[in-house]
Structure 1
């Protein structure tokens, strides 16, 4: 599997100036080539020699690949849109890169100790610069795999290096235990292991309060037309949500390890926004909450420790009685069946997910 390791860079003022020029020139070049492709309605045969840009040849080649990838995605969107009914069609805009970024392939950079070395253009010549990198022990451990491309971008005034790493998936040496994980709003995640051991993870009320608070502040800022402050507030909310997803997924995987779980079952979430119970009370909380991101975090962390993740058909998982198989609707969070079985609604969902049919495809 492939993971991305994010590393903070500490460039000198001179290096920062070079990085700023390189990343801006990179997106300018990609946007220019995409515009050329759209105009000709085909990816032109550009090479590092025919492309004019203040970038090293290796970086030019990567920009050409990125431009072709962006154009391919654009054409796919155009084709998909054309197949829709006229009333459902919408304008397909040409993607434009805005945030400065530059990419080097794995043959054009090196990372030794705390030094990241890669080529930039200095006085019309390609020269390597050595930038100080801040690495933790955990990051060093992640970088033991096969290194892929290097992506440098700027975030909040700081330069971040993102390195793709291909690592070998560990084989589970545990038993054949299966664990079911039910995701929701009031209880972000409920995990249950075969045998009944259960863990409720996350605080849905806290998450709802935080989102409501940010939404209220953005509404006030909107009336004052402070657009930058609104974006800053939105980014702050997203960072908090991502942090919560990381913490929840870590607890889920640790719980699986503690109970020697070999496979984690989760619901296939393709139509979760259509199937999840939505009311006026939770409608605004359902869409911002990234079920997909949380499942991917769980899958990523589980794979690293040798635990397999499978997605199952979510049909009736919250209604089916785990004991007798009858279908009942829970009242609030309490599930009661005529056979005498009683449990928390989300726990019932997690129990049924364990034995649910594995679905084709992914999330």
Structure 2
């Protein structure tokens, strides 16, 4: 079994390399749009090869542009030519035989002074990204796009799922005040994320949107909302990465999570945390945990969430915790409420259905 994914790497081109990327990207989408227009006009797939395209692009890039144009035309034809999409965002794509991952960058061919020349562009490749590239059973295309002022290299790869024989289990309790609490069946515990900081940042975004709404700045309002969503997704990536790193460190083979559909019902709402609870995507966080776990061979299971934060892990008696503190009236066991939840998740009944939207 292999898992398809995209490895994203930040590029650091110098001024000349930036101009080269920009020019090549604009030429690429212009070539694709031109080919699509020709095919739509003739109502048939182009017979052109790279030799027929007069553009300052490497032959392999021209061939990729032809493939992309054919793909767009196929969709347009299927839709009975109702709408012909026009690419506007600069992008350029190389196939897997025309780029090389180096120690400090990525080498790819450009047309310089009329000749094809491979140029190495400096890149920030983290240990995690390099690990994925080294483990890839198949490397696909390289795609360079611009996001804001940054250039991003997107490399399509297939990662084989390793086999983890460990039966050590870890429960993960997800929440608002503390985003994630991990506990293994050996009582190894880790608190992950900063719920107070998360709520503060989101209140700032909310206050900003109220100001923009009163000023009727609709475009700025949309940008603010998109920025918040990107920030939330980034937080989920960091939290899920820390969870998996902890699981690897403790040789965990199984991660258990609560069934996501019930998380909001379980958490006590208040005026301060109501909006955070209603908008935070527990499903997205769980999906990040699941796909990152698969990459390292860790199995993810979902359990029945009933009484996970109320049942005493020592005697099984049901108690209601006061804020973060849990006291058992039956056996006098005391502990942190979220640790109690994570412990109970380890031994809760495993559900056979798929996770549901939070």
Q: TM-score, normalised by structure 1?
A: 0.72
Secondary structure of the equivalent of 2:253? strand
CA distance 1:333–1:70, change in 2 (3 Å): farther
1:121-180 deviation digits (Å, cap 9, x = unpaired): xx9xxx88757251425233332212123333220033322112212233336x421010
Q: In structure 1, what is the equivalent of residue 130 of structure 2?
A: 140
Q: In structure 2, what is the equivalent of residue 191 of structure 1?
A: 182
Counterpart CA distance in 2 for 1:350 and 1:275 is 14
Q: In structure 2, what is the equivalent of residue 209 of structure 1?
A: 200
Q: In structure 2, what is the equivalent of residue 7 of structure 1?
A: 9
Q: Are the equivalent residues in 2 in contact too, given 1:26–1:101 (CA < 8 A)?
A: no
Unaligned regions of 5+ residues in structure 2, if any? 56-60
Task: Out of 199-208 and 53-62, give the one that drifted further.
Answer: 53-62
CA distance 1:106–1:357, change in 2 (3 Å): farther
Q: TM-score, normalised by structure 2?
A: 0.72
Counterpart CA distance in 1 for 2:223 and 2:34 is 25
1:10-33 deviation digits (Å, cap 9, x = unpaired): 344243123034347758988999
Q: In structure 2, what is the equivalent of residue 177 of structure 1?
A: 168
Partner residue of 1:157 out of 149, 162, 171: 149
Counterpart CA distance in 2 for 1:315 and 1:30 is 56
Alignment map for 1:11-22 (pairs within 5 Å): 11-22=17-28
What displacement does 1:184 show?
0.5
CA distance 1:26–1:238, change in 2 (3 Å): farther
Q: In structure 2, what is the equivalent of residue 79 of structure 1?
A: none
What displacement does 1:64 show?
4.8
CA distance 1:312–1:70, change in 2 (3 Å): farther
1:100 paired with 2:89, answer yes
Q: Are the equivalent residues in 2 in contact too, given 1:47–1:64 (CA < 8 A)?
A: yes
1:54-112 deviation digits (Å, cap 9, x = unpaired): 9934334335546878999x9xxxxxxxxxxxxxxxxxxx9989872657474564225
1:218 paired with 2:216, answer no
Secondary structure of the equivalent of 2:186? coil
CA distance 1:308–1:69, change in 2 (3 Å): farther
Counterpart CA distance in 1 for 2:281 and 2:132 is 25
Q: In structure 1, what is the equivalent of residue 58 of structure 2?
A: none
Aligned-residue CA RMSD (Å) = 4.2
What displacement does 1:314 show?
2.7
CA distance 1:314–1:26, change in 2 (3 Å): farther
Q: In structure 1, what is the equivalent of residue 247 of structure 2?
A: 256
Unaligned regions of 5+ residues in structure 1, if any? 37-44, 75-93
Q: In structure 1, what is the equivalent of residue 67 of structure 2?
A: 61
CA distance 1:271–1:20, change in 2 (3 Å): farther
Secondary structure of the equivalent of 2:228? helix
1:285 paired with 2:276, answer yes
Q: Are the equivalent residues in 2 in contact too, given 1:116–1:130 (CA < 8 A)?
A: yes
CA distance 1:106–1:326, change in 2 (3 Å): farther
Q: Are the equivalent residues in 2 in contact too, given 1:26–1:100 (CA < 8 A)?
A: no
1:111 paired with 2:117, answer no
